A and B are shown apart, each in its own frame.
Chain A
Amino acid sequence: MKAVARFWIFLALLALLSPLGLLLPGYFKAGSAWGEWGADEMNGLVGYLPGGLGKLSNVWSAPIPDYAFKGWEDKSLSSLSIAYIFSAVIGMLACVGIVLLLGRLLSKNK
């Protein structure tokens, strides 16, 4: 299937372009998505941190938080863009790997 081969190239292109999703919001001074604020932002918005939210918000610690490496919070936008592309590639590889594995289990005529 030729179309499927083209899709893979298309995905690689999307990974390379993904930092747009980081740079454009920065350029247009757009903040977090609505309802996806961190604890500090929430404090600033409503004047207090809801008790349950404070407790639950740190229940899971992701290895690559917000598509950036840990400790990179203050890095420049270009470094963050590299991390973003890296995250896109890792994330897509993980998606592909898991679906192929599921596919072996689920699809008929193996």
Chain B
Amino acid sequence: MHIPDGYLGPGTCGLFYLIMLPIWTAASRMVKKTLSARQVPLLAIGAAFSFVVMMFNVPIPGGTTGHAVGGVLVAILLGPWAACIAITVALVIQALLFGDGGATAIGANCFIMAFVLPFCGYYIYKAVSRKAALGSRRRVFAAGLAGYVALNVSAGFAGFVFGIQPVLYKTANGVALYCPYGLNVALPVMLGEHLLVFGWVEAIVTALVIKYLQKHAPELLREEGCP
């Protein structure tokens, strides 16, 4: 899901940077307001976790590869705004140090994986695990569901951004200038491979870690207003 340089036109790249600026500002403010100094190491671990999870490319035999983001777990444990910061840090390092995701596409990739994904995952988890006891099975289910849905919503979004490029940018003869695949290809492919394979990876990673924490560190699952 890391959109490389050259797949998005300059306008699309600029627009997503513009969209992300207020989101990054709001995330910094929210984190400043809510994150205690004690939680900072946990946020650092969250960023490192998301970074390394994205290195685990999962193959579709004979086809493409994809990966989980690990961001839904960070959102569940530290809140969506903190997760936005952690995933942004991971994505920026991947783009600049390792060329995974384009430098021009950092805005777009962050919108998709550091904004849409953690917020979507966090609110699904909150809604499904509402009033559930800390050690309940419903929390594990909620975590898995949140991971699955959030990764697929993000993938759908990435497919959409890829797919509108040939409409937005083409030569006078109608030849694509950037991503050459339209919505009719990009959307079903991105959604399909994530619905079938990669979404389950995010679901399993998120659910397993929540299950582990229920047993070994339930205090990390506590939030305001929870029993």
Contact = CB atoms under 8 A, between A and B. Distances in A.
B103 A59 contact: yes
Interface string B88-109: 0110011111111011100000
B169 interface: yes
B64 A91 contact: no
B162 A91 contact: no
Contact of B44 (A48, A63, A87, A96): A96
Interface string B67-107: 10000000000000000011001100111111110111000
Range for the number of chain A residues in contact with chain B: 35 or more
B93 A53 contact: no
A87 B98 contact: yes
Nearest to B176: A50
A84 B58 CA distance: 15
B68 to A, nearest CB: 11
B132 interface: no
B26 interface: no
Nearest to B3: A35
Interface stretch (B118-126, B136-144, B185-193): B185-193
Interface stretch (B15-23, B31-39, B146-154): B31-39
A7 B49 CA distance: 9
Considering residues B1, B99, B171, which has the most beta carbons from chain A within 10 angstroms of its beta carbon?
A: B99
B116 interface: no
Nearest to A30: B59
Contacts of A77: none
Contacts of A34: 64, 66, 189-190, 193
Interface string A16-31: 0110111011011111
Contacts of B186: 35
Nearest to B162: A35
A19 B175 CA distance: 39
Contacts of A48: 175
Interface of A: 1-4, 6-8, 11, 14-15, 17-18, 20-22, 24-25, 27-36, 42, 46, 48, 50-67, 84, 87-88, 90-96, 98-100, 102-104, 106-110
11 contacts: A21-B67, A33-B64, A34-B66, A36-B2, A50-B177, A50-B179, A52-B178, A53-B179, A56-B104, A95-B48, A99-B47
Given A6-B216, A33-B2, 7 more contacts: A11-B49, A14-B52, A14-B53, A29-B61, A30-B59, A107-B31, A107-B32
